Amino acid sequence: MIRRLMIVLFAGVSLGMTQPSPKFIGHIERLDPELDKIIMQGAKAEIIAEGMDWSEGPLWVEKHKMLLWSDVPRDTVWKWTEKGGKEVYLTPSGYTGSVPRKGEMGSNGLLLDPKGNLVLCMCGDRRMARMDAPLNAPRPKFVTLAGNYEGRKFDSPNDAAYSPTGELYFTDPPYGLEHQHNDPLKEMKVQGVYKVKKNGEVVLLIDSLTRPNGIAFFPGGKQLLVTNSDGANPNWYIYDVTEEGLTNGRIFYSAKSEGKGLRGAPDGLKINKDGYVFSSAPGGIWIFNRSGKLIGKLSGLSAPASNCTFSGDEKTLYITNDMNILRLKLMD
C-alpha cells in the first residue's frame, strides 16, 4: 500500500513538472490613448502552437470553441482547442490534383459562409470552395464556388470575406503558383479582387492592385478594406461598396516609409464590431481606428505575421505568425 501511494504521488509530481510554462513574444506599442479602449494594460501575446511551415487564414469557430488555420506548404488545416491543443483537422486542404507540385499549394484564407459551412481559399486548386462536410466531421470533399473568370483560371485565391448581403468577396494574388507572376500556368492578366454573386456569377471588382491580399468589411458593409502586399506599394486601400461594385478607392494607410527594414507586409486583417482594424503589417500587427489613424502595434515578433482573427466575444485575438500561433487577450 505504501509503495503504491509513493508511485501515485511521484506520478503527480512528475506530471506537475512537465506542464509547460506559457511562452510570450513581442510587446504592445501604445501610440495613442485610444488603444486603451480595446487592449488592456499588460496584454501579452502567448505562443499556443508551434511547428508550422507557414501558417495562414486563422478562423475561430465559436460553436465548437476551436481555432482553425492553414499550413499552406503542408496542404493542411490545423485545429486548436484549449483542451486538445494542436491537431490535424483537414488534409488535403488546397490541392486535390494528382500531379506532384511544390510551393504554396494548401488552403490559405478560411471563413464560414452564412449557413456556417467552412469555405476555403484553395491555392493549389486555384478556386474558392466549400467543404462538403460538417465542421465536426471534416473530410477533403469540396464544392467549387468560383474557379474561373471569363474562362480563365484564377491564380491562387488568398483571402475572402462575406458581405452582410451574403455575397463572397475574395482576392487573387499569384503566391500559390509555383513561379508566381512568371508561372507558365498563369492565365489571369491582372491580380484581381472578385465578387461571387448569390447566383454564382463572378464579377471582377478591382484590377489595379499588384498584390491584393487581405480583405474585410467595416461594420455595416458600406466600406471594404483591401491590403496590397507589394513591397513597392505596401498600402491599405478603402473602397465604398455600392450595388454596382466598388467606388472611390483611396489609400487608407501606407507602410511605405514606416515599414522599411521590418519583416512582413500588409497582409491579412480583421475589423471588429466597433470598426477597429487589426492587420498584419511590417514587424507584427498594426491597429487602426476607423478613420485610418494608427493607434498601436504588436511589435517584436521573431517572424512575419500573416493574418489574425477574433474570438466570438472579440476579447481575444489569434494570430498566425509563420511557424507559431499566437493568442493575445485584448480584454478580460
3-state secondary structure of 182: helix
Q: What is the pLDDT of residues 166-212, one digit of tens each?
A: 999 999 999 999 999 999 999 999 999 999 999 999 999 999 999 99
What pLDDT shows up at residue 260? 84
Q: Which has the closest alpha carbon to 126: 80, 166, 162, 175?
A: 175
Q: Which domain holds residue 81?
A: 54-207
Residues in the chain: 332
Is 230 labeled as catalytic in the residue annotation? no
Binding-site residues for substrate: 158
Set of cell numbers at residue 181: 507572376
Q: Which has the closest alpha carbon to 48: 88, 89, 86, 90?
A: 86
Total tally of structural domains belonging to the chain:
1
Is 321 within the bounds of a domain? no
- Count of CB atoms situated within 10 Å of the CB of 147: 15
Please name the residues in contact with 97: beta carbons below 8 A apart, sequence gap of 6 or more. Answer: 124, 125
DSSP 8-state symbol, 5: H
Is 188 within the bounds of a domain? yes
pTM of the complete model: 0.93
The answer, yes or no, to whether residue 1 has pLDDT greater than 60, is no
Is 257 within the bounds of a domain? no
Is 221 within the bounds of a domain? no
Is 159 within the bounds of a domain? yes
The answer, yes or no, to whether residue 94 has pLDDT greater than 60, is yes
Question: 273-295 b/e with 16+ CB inside 10 Å = b?
Answer: eeebbbbbbbbbbbbbbeeeebb
Of the two residues 17 and 316, the one the predictor is more confident about is: 316
What pLDDT shows up at residue 259? 83
Q: Which helix (H) or strand (E) holds 12?
A: helix 2-18
pLDDT bucket at 19, cuts 50 / 70 / 90: low
Binding-site residues: 56, 158, 213, 267
3-state secondary structure of 37: helix
Q: What is the pLDDT of residues 99-113, one digit of tens each?
A: 999 889 999 999 999
Q: Which of 75, 125, 155, 267 is catalytic?
A: 267
Contact (Cβ atoms closer than 8 angstroms) between residue 232 and residue 254: no
Q: Which has the closest alpha carbon to 226: 164, 152, 158?
A: 158
Contact (Cβ atoms closer than 8 angstroms) between residue 51 and residue 63: no
Q: How far is C-alpha 86 from the geometric centre of its chain's CA atoms?
A: 17
Is 160 within the bounds of a domain? yes
Looking up residue 185, the CATH number of its domain turns out to be: 2.120.10.30
Is 163 within the bounds of a domain? yes
- Count of CB atoms situated within 10 Å of the CB of 221: 14
Contact (Cβ atoms closer than 8 angstroms) between residue 107 and residue 120: yes
What pLDDT shows up at residue 95? 98
Binding-site residues for a divalent metal cation: 56, 213, 267
What pLDDT shows up at residue 18? 59
Contact (Cβ atoms closer than 8 angstroms) between residue 126 and residue 107: no
What is the chain's Cα-based Rg?
21
Is 266 within the bounds of a domain? no
What pLDDT shows up at residue 20? 77
